[in-house]
Amino acid sequence: MLTAGLLAMGCGGVEPGMDEQAALDTREDAQLFCTQEAFDIVYYSDATLTTPVGHFYCECFETAWSFGRKTQFKVVEYSRQCQ
């Protein structure tokens, strides 16, 4: 009985509700402060580079921003040193 009860309850804590998960999927987190560099990187779901799933952006002397998630499949849109 105890085993059946534990299996019915699941393990690992409470799953996030639909609203909570949606908020995590779309949140924007402030990252590091950009100093002597600027770049724009788009992350994709797979090697076909057709479905973007994340973005990392840094502009000279501003706050870096990251959206979505980082993967191994990325395209650097631009990268340069700041004056």
> At residue 40, what is the residue type?
D
pLDDT in tens, the chain (83 residues): 444 444 444 444 455 555 555 555 566 655 578 888 899 999 999 999 999 999 999 999 998 898 899 999 999 999 999 98
DSSP state of 33: E
DSSP state of 70: -
What's the pLDDT at 7?
43
CB 70 within 8 A of CB 55: no
pTM of the model: 0.59
What's the pLDDT at 51?
97
CB 36 within 8 A of CB 81: yes
